[in-house]
Structure 1
């Protein structure tokens, strides 16, 4: 779906409760799993995280650890993703990270994602019109896992950065969820890794930005390059 800057500006004035959304279900190939079956359930309900330095920034508030969350086994290179409980209503980009659990971890429910274990595997491409970026208001987002990764246990983290009030920091809203997956058939690889929180400062041009004026002719994604 394409949306003009005028429509987005009007949408930003609507009551915030109407615009909030959560990534609740893991997608593997053509299968959409049950809500919070493989995705850690947070206690944030329909509210976003705004502090990029908070421990809530890893997997959202209340999702520091899993609570009887199942782990989905999926092959490296497979198409995976997340479905939402309602359609995204705020303008902004979609980004995905993988966090590799230490070898000592045998149950992902017990790992909080701490340490420099994360690498970016996806950022949804943008197209542009005379009104600026064509922000897509999706009800699901899918992408492929890299093939050159080690087999093992991972947290798969999805992030939608809502930019309707991002002219100051804090202002951008981060809608975050983590799925628990076990990757098989990986061929190894050495991605550069970051910590989450720690990957952003909040002052990046992709986080602190006025998306309405002047009209954007480009958008700079925050964080590291996509590992491929």
Structure 2
């Protein structure tokens, strides 16, 4: 426990601004695009969102509109992802959703992500050590787009749930970005869809959880199952 206590103490001494991070760049096929070229620009610097009922929870503060964000055309089944502006510091899972824009939307920049249009396509489990969740230092996250989806305009949403202060709600920190995609070559499919906000209540055991005592040894993802 001495080592664990030292880690917690060190973490508490690091300025919060240095422990925060963003997902400003889209990755497609191993190529990292420019910052905020295809990812919607947020307006809260690198601060997290904590209120799961806020409209900021969709695509982060300032992300309800695409502004000057470009839309990347990519084939269904491609490997895509997000690059961070600095390493993730806090322990917690990664979850990725796709939001399909309504058929009436012809310019993705104008869609605010509202409605039951979202489905989960990827989640990365926490790894555990003898003292609980590992504090992984990731610079990027990649995954494959589903093939069994309709072609069209989508928002690709990533969230990292930082659990270092999640024993009460609000407390968990959500680091969120949305990229704009035009997905081609989809073979169709009918994933069950949810609304964001609305997908979480904040009381889920994967959101309201004390990772320090008793030491967390397993993790239950909030939200729906991954669409495959």
**TM-score, normalised by the number of residues in structure 2:** 0.95
CA gap 1:149/1:164 in 2 versus in 1, 3 angstroms: same
Q: Which residue of 2 aligns with 1:222?
A: 222
Q: Give the superposition deviation at 1:137.
A: 2.1
Bigger mean CA offset, 14-23 vs 101-110: 14-23
CA gap 1:9/1:141 in 2 versus in 1, 3 angstroms: farther
Q: How far apart, CA to CA, are the structure 1 residues paired with 2:74 and 2:4? A: 38
1:59 correspondence with 2:20: no
Whether contact under 8 Å (1:81, 1:140) holds in the other structure is: yes
Q: How far apart, CA to CA, are the structure 2 residues paired with 1:147 and 1:172? A: 32
Q: Gaps (5+ residues) in structure 2?
A: none
CA gap 1:6/1:120 in 2 versus in 1, 3 angstroms: farther
Q: How far apart, CA to CA, are the structure 1 residues paired with 2:218 and 2:96? A: 20
Q: Which residue of 1 aligns with 2:172?
A: 172
CA gap 1:126/1:145 in 2 versus in 1, 3 angstroms: same
Q: How far apart, CA to CA, are the structure 2 residues paired with 1:46 and 1:171? A: 16
Q: Give the superposition deviation at 1:9.
A: 5.6
CA offsets 1:169-214 (integer angstroms, 9 cap, x no match): 0001100000000101101111000000000000000100011111
Q: Which residue of 2 aligns with 1:20?
A: 20
What aligned pairs does 1:52-201 form with structure 2 within 5 A after superposition?
A: 52-201=52-201
Provide the secondary structure at the position in 2 that maps to 1:10. Answer: helix
Q: Give the superposition deviation at 1:125.
A: 2.8
**TM-score, normalised by the number of residues in structure 1:** 0.95
Q: Number of aligned residue pairs: give it.
A: 226
Provide the secondary structure at the position in 2 that maps to 1:82. Answer: strand
Q: How far apart, CA to CA, are the structure 2 residues paired with 1:42 and 1:151? A: 27
Q: How far apart, CA to CA, are the structure 1 residues paired with 2:63 and 2:179? A: 10
CA gap 1:164/1:13 in 2 versus in 1, 3 angstroms: farther
Provide the secondary structure at the position in 2 that maps to 1:117. Answer: strand
What aligned pairs does 1:199-210 form with structure 2 within 5 A after superposition?
A: 199-210=199-210
CA gap 1:143/1:13 in 2 versus in 1, 3 angstroms: same
CA gap 1:139/1:216 in 2 versus in 1, 3 angstroms: same
Whether contact under 8 Å (1:157, 1:179) holds in the other structure is: yes
